[in-house]
């Protein structure tokens, strides 16, 4: 599978009254064509900021991409002017947010919003756009008639509204779709339906998806690969199998221990004690050191190098890294 998007060494910070928050600190990952990559982590770990950076939606000021590249079809999105980013946004890369109401205009009918979206990016007539809008509604599982297109967002249920948002994200046939907590606001049954819809759409259109979520249940259902983020860094990447069956990073293990498992009755949920580090002054070494039961001297001092565990499986942790001793010696 070829790569469609490459994020390399991305750094993003925000200037606040309290100082500079380093929200994303050297994030790198690839997105392959037709896959779903899940970016998981607790709130504040930088996953949404990473997604917004790809979309060129970091408000500047106070935010700023301070370093790194976002490569998409030969251009570095991190260096593009807003005018050029606008052309890519929606047409090549589209984004779905958690709350469907923020993406929909409450004062316009669904039909108008879909048709306008289509016309904005494609040179086709209004009647053709209308036909396409109906098609899109069907693609996302809303049996639609012209009368349905004349309805306003509030006339649809929450789950239906999220389907419409997905339709809006798909009208221009993007190659990449970024979904930030797309099911968090929905109840569990509807959540499952929306995740099914993602898989279905991916099969039909071949779109590559970046799914941002804190919910490992969601990840287990749809992700091909997973990047685990902690305190502004990716600490482990792997296939779904790697992460769920052979997690290596103590943080990943902690995350997995803190979700209910249907296959293990009476399994105890163990929340990870402590809290993430202050991103105003992140520690020089491993960001997980204060919460890690395996922490060693080197962890405090040096950020762990990347270790390869499998074809797609990478971890940043000193625990099983032979270079740890050497690294510590060089620090003394
Ligand atoms: Fe724990 Fe050290 Fe690994 Fe960080 S590098 S997760 S502190 S063992
Ligand atoms: Mg978020």
CA distances from 255 to 46, 250, 318 (A): 16, 9, 19
Q: Kindly report the pTM of this predicted structure.
A: 0.94
- Is there a domain that residue 145 lies in? no
- Is there a domain that residue 296 lies in? yes
- Is there a domain that residue 100 lies in? no
| Average confidence score pLDDT of the chain | 92
Residue 213 clears pLDDT 80, i.e. is over it: yes
- Is there a domain that residue 43 lies in? yes
Other CB atoms within a 10 A radius of the CB of residue 246 amount to 13
Q: 67: which strand partners?
A: 11
- Is there a domain that residue 209 lies in? yes
3-state SS class at 147: helix
Q: How far apart are CA 307 and CA 302, in angstroms?
A: 14
What ranges make up the beta strands (E) of 81-193?
93-96, 176-180
- Is there a domain that residue 34 lies in? yes
Question: What is the Cβ-side half-sphere exposure of residue 73, based on CA atoms within 13 angstroms?
Answer: 10
Residue 311 clears pLDDT 90, i.e. is over it: yes
Residue 263 clears pLDDT 70, i.e. is over it: no
Other CB atoms within a 10 A radius of the CB of residue 87 amount to 11
For residue 250, how far is its CA from the centre of ligand 1 (angstroms)? 7
Q: How far apart are CA 104 and CA 307, in angstroms?
A: 43
Q: Which domain holds residue 217?
A: 3-92+174-331
Residue 99 clears pLDDT 80, i.e. is over it: no
- Alpha carbon nearest to ligand 1 atom 3, residue: 317
Closest ligand 1 atom to the C-alpha of 293?
1
- Is there a domain that residue 123 lies in? no
Summarize the confidence of residues 57-85 as an average pLDDT. Answer: 94
DSSP letter for 77, please: G
- Is there a domain that residue 97 lies in? no
Q: What's the pLDDT band for 97 if we cut at 50, 70, 90?
A: confident
Number of domains in the chain: 1
CATH number at 67 reads 3.40.50.300
Name residues contacting ligand 1 (CB within 6 A). 249-250, 286, 288-289, 292, 294-296, 299, 304, 317-319
Check if the beta carbon of residue 319 is closer than 8 Å to that of residue 288: no
């Amino acid at each position: 599978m070829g790569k469609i998007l490459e994020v390399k060494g991305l750094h993003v910070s925000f200037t606040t009254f309290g100082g500079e928050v380093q929200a994303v600190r050297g994030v790198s990952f690839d997105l392959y064509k037709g896959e779903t990559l899940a970016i998981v982590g607790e709130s504040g770990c930088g996953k949404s900021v990473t997604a917004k950076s790809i979309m060129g939606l970091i408000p500047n000021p106070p935010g700023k991409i301070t370093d790194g590249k976002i490569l998409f079809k030969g251009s570095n999105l991190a260096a593009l002017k807003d005018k050029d980013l606008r052309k890519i946004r929606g047409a090549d890369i589209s984004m779905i947010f958690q709350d469907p109401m923020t993406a929909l205009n409450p004062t316009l009918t669904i039909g108008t919003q879909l048709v306008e979206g289509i016309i904005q990016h494609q040179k086709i007539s209004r009647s053709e756009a209308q036909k396409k809008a109906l098609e899109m509604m069907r693609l996302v599982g809303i049996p639609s008639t012209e009368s349905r297109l004349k309805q306003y967002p509030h006339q649809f249920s929450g789950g239906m509204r999220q389907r419409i948002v997905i339709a809006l994200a798909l009208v221009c046939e993007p190659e990449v779709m970024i979904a930030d907590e797309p099911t968090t606001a929905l109840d569990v049954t509807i959540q499952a339906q929306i995740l099914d819809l993602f898989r279905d759409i991916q099969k039909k259109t071949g779109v590559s998806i970046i799914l941002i979520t804190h919910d490992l249940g969601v990840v287990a259902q749809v992700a091909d690969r997973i990047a685990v983020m902690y305190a502004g860094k990716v600490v482990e990447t792997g296939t779904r199998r790697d992460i769920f069956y052979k997690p290596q990073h103590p943080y990943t293990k902690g995350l997995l221990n803190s979700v209910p498992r249907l296959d293990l009755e009476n399994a105890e949920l163990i929340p990870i004690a402590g809290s993430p580090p202050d991103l105003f002054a992140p520690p020089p070494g491993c960001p997980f050191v204060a919460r890690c039961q395996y922490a060693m001297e080197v962890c405090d001092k040096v950020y762990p190098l990347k270790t390869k565990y499998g074809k797609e499986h990478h971890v940043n942790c000193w625990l099983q890294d032979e270079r740890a001793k050497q690294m510590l010696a060089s620090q003394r």
